[in-house]
Structure 1
């Protein structure tokens, strides 16, 4: 991904530097139960997640009451 994202960015937007952050951003993002715990700490309830496309994408869901 470290090599692919900047090249894809160059092809898609004619600016490969715009996509250099992507690899480090993906690696730094908390995933799975770790991210659910963060959501719960800030008040979300009924938190769930589902990985799609062999883990390429994950959908996180939760509910939070209005104040």
Structure 2
């Protein structure tokens, strides 16, 4: 399945990899997919929340780490 012309649907591949099927052909196919993947880059995010009281809802605090 593709999400754009010529582009593989990565979310679909990740969901397939989560299936725990014991058939040897499935295991081989999932290993082939895993072997073909490579990480180009990654990002780490920090999200900070606060609340006024223990009963209040959580409110996200916007932090722009790049500008610090």
Higher Cα Rg: structure 1 or 2? 2
TM range (shorter): under 0.3
**TM-score normalised according to structure 1 size:** 0.25
More strand by share: 1
Higher relative contact order (CA 8 A, sep 6+): 1
